[in-house]
Structure 1
């Protein structure tokens, strides 16, 4: 199984949600990383056949995703927005999904899916009594009930406690190792790092970077970094830093120094020694540009 996205764009009036994205997804776990509003959900919905591309083509194992109900025999989707009936028990909800798929033994399939997500006694309680994490798991069970070879998950770790997050990560790993195509979206770098081997980075509707996690991490680490620094003598430190090869610029402000480092590692390793040698006292050292938006904006420029 595979998903092929070829020159896909979609727009709503004058707003471009996805802009000329091309990617190929095979067996294993892939993380779709990007800040909120990057177009991740729109892309997932097009892969699932919920939305048509305005331009380009999306295929699931060679078959078009749009207007092709047969795709759902092999595809499971867990949306970010919850769409569950609170008056049903977890077991009833998953059983209903099994029946919609017209499985030969829906009760057995529902039981297997519930066990897979480790939803024990709560399966017989109404979903309206569930925590956020439990609702996530019962929705995942409904998506897995027909044992799809392609699984799409939109922000699947939202609302999970640490133990549930580890269970979810382990489950995604196992499904990837089984040869399934697993794609999940996230705006949190650490989630993607712990789960996926391949990363697709989206920013403002564009595919900004693509590759294994080490490649993406290297791009992020090698970008220029801005630090806020405050010492007992900021002007003295500025005079020393301005000549360093791993510093691009230094500004002296009332609150301290704003240092643009060309090399993140070299700057953070050298600064403690400089402070000691100059007899200064370091009061503050804080990255000033560590938001996801700033990181991803750099990747757009580097791509």
Structure 2
């Protein structure tokens, strides 16, 4: 079983701090690296893959530093977010080149297995430049798997994939996790992580915001204060009903925008309560809009928890 560890790692580019004093351990199974765009996920993955040195701290593969350690590449497969392909090569040639770079005893057989694993045999003789974005993602996956690595690092792997391709890749990753491989994939989409990862690492603005079981962290996200703007046929009467029930932590009338502003920490109770109160009072709901549902606001709450 292979484990990767990040200990007190920071990375800066000039005056810009991309990763700030992050410590985490990634073990066998599927781990989701979750955070908004620009949070430092790609920088972390590039350091884990040994393509970028930490400015401070250590990134290790089974206690051995990854930076300037060519042997680590035998155990690591990387699927970067950027295209990172040679458009003039066929899919077969692209994957075969990586098999040969790894010095595999039968690079042709390894290439066939890798392309079959991602269901790309049908397009293996076409030039990569003719591929769709989803196809390029899959051929990058084949290249990363060709040497049968113990660790797989994927940066936003589902970008550009159609629904069928996404389902196939999810099933492939689940199988690898069950087999005991160490799989880390980054995403800024909660639903992708929810469907795949039992372990989660959350980063916000380069800092480590949360770590642990996905279900527990998702509960924190759900139980945090939620804010809404509501437009109804009688905002004052609805405000009185909400205050009387006690389900909300704050209710205010905005006379300028002609809306009711509500804050609640009981997400599920409020979702059931609001339509019932409105119906009982004969009030029509015209609009109910969350005002703080961006990933940035969710993760900021986790940082403060």
Q: What TM-score do the two structures reach when normalised by structure 1?
A: 0.97
CA distance in 2, matches of 1:137, 1:80: 12
Cα drift, residue 251 of structure 1: 2.0
Q: Residue 276 of structure 2 aligns with which residue? A: 273
Distance 2:83 2:265 in 1: 44
Q: Structure 1, unaligned stretches of length 5 or more?
A: none
Shift of 1:192: 0.5
**Count, aligned residues:** 302
Distance 1:241 1:291 in 2: 25
Which structure 2 residues correspond to residues 200-239 of structure 1 after superposition, within 5 A? 200-239=201-240
Match of 1:114 in 2: 115
Q: Output the aligned Cα RMSD.
A: 1.0
Q: Give the whole-Å Cα distance in 1 for the aligned partners of 2:78 and 2:253.
A: 52
Is 1:298 the counterpart of 2:304? The answer is no
Match of 1:130 in 2: 131
The equivalences for 1:43-58 within 5 A come to: 43-58=44-59
Give the aligned partner of residue 264 of structure 1. 267
- The equivalences for 1:109-188 within 5 A come to 109-188=110-189
2:103 paired residue number? 102
Alignment counterpart, residue 255 of structure 1, candidates 254, 258, 262? 258
Give ranges in structure 2 of 5+ residues lacking alignment. Answer: none
1:286 to 280, 285, 289: 289
Structure 1 residue ranges, 4+ long, deviating more than 4 angstroms after superposition: none
Shift of 1:25: 1.0
Q: 2:245 & 2:42 partners in 1: Cα distance?
A: 44
Shift of 1:273: 1.8
Give, in whole Å, the separation in 1 of the partners of 2:272 and 2:67: 52
